[in-house]
Structure 1
Amino acid sequence: MKTTSLKKISLTAILAVLGLTGAAVAQTPENTPAKKVNFGYSQNPKTRTGKEPNNAANKQNSTVTAETVPANVPETTASNDTIAKKTLEVVKNANKKAVAPTQNYKVGVGDVLFINLQNNAKGSTYYTVLNDGTIDYPLAGQMVSVAGLNTDEIEDLLREKIRLYENPQVSVKIRDYASHKISVLGLVEKSGDKFIQREAVPLFVVRAEAVVSPNAVRVVIRRGDATAETYELKDEKTDEVLVLPNDIVEFQADTTAANPAAQYFYIGGEVVAGGQKDFHEGLTLTQAILVSGGLKRSGVKKVVIRRKNADGMLVSSEYNLKQIKDGKAPDPVLMAGDTVEVGD
Structure 2
Amino acid sequence: MKALFSLLVILSLSGCAVIPGAHIPFNQEEDDSIDLEKMVDIYAITPKLLRERMAKPETTPVFNHQLEMEIQDYDYTVNRGDILNITVWDHPELTIPAGSDRSPSEAGNWVHSDGTIFYPYVGEVKVAGLKVTEIRDILRKELAKYIATPQVDVTVASFRSKRVYLTGELKQPGTQPITNVPLTLLEAVSNAGGLTEAADWTNVTLTRNGETKRYSLRDLYRQGDTRENLLLRPNDIIHVARNDAAKIFVLGEVGKPTSLNIGRSDITLAEALADAGGFVQATADASGVFVVRKAPDDTGKIAEVFQLHARNATALVLADQFVLQPRDIVYVTAAPIARWNRLITQILPTVQMVYFGSVTERELTD
Pick the TM interval, shorter chain.
Answer: 0.3 to 0.5
User: How high is the TM-score relative to the length of structure 2?
Assistant: 0.41
User: How high is the TM-score relative to the length of structure 1?
Assistant: 0.44
Q: Which has the higher contact order (CA 8 A, sep 6+)?
A: 2
Larger Rg: 1
